[in-house]
Structure 1
Amino acid sequence: MIRKGFIMKVYPDKHAEYEKRHHEIWPEMVDELHRHGASNYSIFLEKETSTLFGYVEIEDEEKWSKMASTDINQKWWEYMEPVMETNPDNSPVTIDLTEVFHMD
């Protein structure tokens, strides 16, 4: 199991919409995440700066990297583009974090 942490940005006036869309996440998106080895996935919002902190555990980097190109993921990125900072391909602008401490 590999732990991944990352940050993204939601638009300041879209906090509620971002949360709503995740409360209503499509079952087929969840299924695809599981198929690509993701588990224990959480996203937290720091409202002052509109910063999102994501945490996910994955089985394998290669398997996980293939998630981005799936049809459902592409559709999800397009759906989320109006509420958060994105790249030209609609993927979220993401900064990967380096783990510096872990305790079981």
Structure 2
Amino acid sequence: MKRYGAVIGLKPEQIADYKRVHAAVWPDVLAQIKASNIKNYSIFLREPENLLFAYYEYVGTDHDADMAAMAADPRTQEWWAVCMPMQAPLATRAEGDWWAGTEEVFHLD
């Protein structure tokens, strides 16, 4: 198992809508997340900075392939089309990334 964390901005005028859609994530999207070997997935919001922090545990054997399968899923693409306009990616993210990856500096089980 490997842990992943990422951050992204959230447009202030979109906070209520972002919370609303995440209170009822589409079942097909949830199923794809699980099929992509993601467990213990959470998204946290820090206001007033309007930063989202996502955390998940990956339990598969090929993260790149599982993430590619999720990205290719039509229903997930529809979900992202709803969510992405609400987000404000960080200017410092890696080229090609939407969410900016983070480095784990401490962990306690």
Unpaired runs of at least 5, structure 2: 90-95
2:49 equivalent to 1:44: no
Q: How does the TM-score come out when normalised to structure 1? A: 0.86
Please give the secondary structure, in 1, of the residue aligned with 2:88.
Answer: coil
Counterpart of 1:82?
A: 85
**What whole-Å deviation, never above 9, does each CA across 1:26-62 have from its counterpart, x for those lacking one?**
0110000000001100000011111000001112313
For structure 1, list consecutive stretches of 5 or more residues without a partner in the other structure: none
1:98 lines up with 2:103 in the alignment: yes
Aligned match of 1:18: 18
Letter in 2 for 1:65: M
Counterparts of residues 48-87 of structure 1 (less than 5 Å) = 48-60=48-60, 61-66=63-68, 67-85=70-88
Distance in 2 between residues matched to 1:75 and 1:96, nearest whole Å: 23
**Shift in Å, 1:11:** 0.4
CA RMSD of aligned residues (A): 1.8
Aligned length, in residue pairs: 100
Q: Which runs of 4+ in 1 moved over 4 A?
A: none
